[in-house]
A and B are shown apart, each in its own frame.
Chain A
Amino acid sequence: MKSYVELPYQRVADSPSVKYYTAWNVFDEYILGGRPAREAGFDRELLSKLGVKPDYVVTPSTPVEAPVKWPREPDRRLEAFHFSNISSSIEVHLEDSDAVVLLEKPLEGFHASHLNVTASGDSSLALLLLSPGGSRGLSTVSLHVDVAPGSRLRLTYAVFEARGSSTALMQALSVGEGSAVSQRVLLSGGRATLSELLSSLTGAGSSLSEGVLVAGLEGSSTTVVTDAVSSAARSTVRISLLGIATSGYIAHKGVVRVHRGASGSRASLSSRLVPLTQRARVYSFPSLEIESDDAEEARHSASNAPLEPERIFYLRARGFSHSEALRALLEAEARRALGGVDARGELVLPLAEHLLDAVTAELQ
Chain B
Amino acid sequence: MSKLSLLEGLTLDQVSLDSVGLRARVTLSGRISRSLVEELSRAKKEPEWMLRLRLRSLELFEKLPMPNWLVGIEELNLEELAHYIQPDVQRASSWEELPEEIRRAYERLGLPEIERKALLGLAAQLESENVYLAFRKFLEERGVILMDMSEAVARYPDLVRRYFMRVFPPSDHKFAALHGALWSGGVFLYVPPGVRVEAPIEAFFLIASELESQMEHTIVVAGEGSYVHFIEGCSAPLFKRYSFHNGMVEIYAHRNSHVKFTTIQNWSRNIVNFNNKRALVEEGATVEWVEGSIGSKISYVYPSAILRGEGARVSIANVTIARGATWKDSGAKVYHLAPNTASEVVSKSISAGGGVAVYRGLVRVARGARGSKAAVKCDSLILDKASKALTYPRNEVEEEDATVVHEATTGRLSEEVLFYLRSRGLEEREARRLVVLGYVGDVLGRLPYEYRLVLSKVLELEFEDIGGYA
Q: Which A residues form the contact surface with B (CB < 8 A)?
A: 8, 10-12, 14-18, 255, 257, 259-260, 273, 275-278, 280-295, 297-306
27 A-B pairs whose Cβ atoms sit less than 8 Å apart in the complex = A10-B21, A11-B17, A11-B19, A12-B68, A17-B362, A17-B396, A257-B12, A280-B400, A281-B396, A285-B395, A286-B406, A288-B390, A289-B15, A289-B388, A289-B391, A291-B388, A292-B384, A293-B382, A293-B384, A295-B410, A299-B409, A301-B405, A302-B404, A302-B407, A303-B404, A304-B397, A304-B402
B87 CB within 8 Å of chain A: no
Q: Which B residues form the contact surface with A (CB < 8 A)?
A: 11-12, 15-22, 68-69, 333, 335, 362, 364-365, 367, 380, 382-413
Residue from the list A280, A282, A288 in contact with B410, Cβ < 8 A: A288
The answer to whether residues A11 and B395 also contact, given A257-B16, A290-B389, A294-B385 and a CB cut-off of 8 A, is no
A15 to B22, CA, bound (A): 18
Residues of A within 8 A of B411 (CB): 295, 297-298
B394 & A14 in contact (Cβ 8 Å cutoff): yes
- Nearest Cβ on chain A to B306's Cβ, whole angstroms: 12
A260 & B12 in contact (Cβ 8 Å cutoff): yes
The answer to whether residues A290 and B382 also contact, given A275-B397, A282-B397, A298-B411 and a CB cut-off of 8 A, is yes
B388 & A292 in contact (Cβ 8 Å cutoff): yes
Residue from the list B15, B384, B393, B399 in contact with A285, Cβ < 8 A: B393
CB-nearest residue of chain B relative to A280?
Answer: B400
CB-nearest residue of chain B relative to A277?
Answer: B400
A123 to B385, CA, bound (A): 37
Residues of B within 8 A of A8 (CB): 21
A15 & B387 in contact (Cβ 8 Å cutoff): no
B20 & A11 in contact (Cβ 8 Å cutoff): yes
- Nearest Cβ on chain A to B361's Cβ, whole angstroms: 10
Residue from the list B12, B21, B405, B409 in contact with A302, Cβ < 8 A: B405
Number of contacts between A and B (CB, 8 Å)?
145
- Nearest Cβ on chain A to B383's Cβ, whole angstroms: 6
B387 & A293 in contact (Cβ 8 Å cutoff): yes
Residue from the list A15, A260, A281, A288 in contact with B385, Cβ < 8 A: A260
The answer to whether residues A287 and B406 also contact, given A12-B17, A16-B362, A277-B400 and a CB cut-off of 8 A, is no
- Nearest Cβ on chain A to B307's Cβ, whole angstroms: 14
B397 & A289 in contact (Cβ 8 Å cutoff): no
Residues of B within 8 A of A305 (CB): 402-405
Residues of B within 8 A of A282 (CB): 397
Most chain B beta-carbon contacts within 10 A, residue among A259, A282, A295: A282
A260 to B10, CA, bound (A): 12
A1 to B290, CA, bound (A): 50
B16 & A284 in contact (Cβ 8 Å cutoff): no
A304 & B404 in contact (Cβ 8 Å cutoff): yes
Residues of B within 8 A of A304 (CB): 365, 395, 397, 402-405
Residues of A within 8 A of B392 (CB): 285, 287
B389 & A299 in contact (Cβ 8 Å cutoff): no
CB-nearest residue of chain A relative to B13?
Answer: A259
Residues of B within 8 A of A300 (CB): 391, 406-408
- Nearest Cβ on chain B to A172's Cβ, whole angstroms: 14
B333 & A16 in contact (Cβ 8 Å cutoff): yes
A17 to B336, CA, bound (A): 13
Q: A17-B362, A289-B16, A297-B411 are in contact. List 17 more A-B contacts (CB 8 A).
A: A8-B21, A11-B18, A12-B21, A12-B69, A15-B394, A275-B397, A281-B398, A286-B408, A290-B382, A290-B410, A292-B384, A293-B412, A299-B407, A299-B409, A302-B405, A303-B405, A306-B400
B367 & A293 in contact (Cβ 8 Å cutoff): no
B394 & A299 in contact (Cβ 8 Å cutoff): no
Residues of A within 8 A of B397 (CB): 273, 275, 281-283, 304
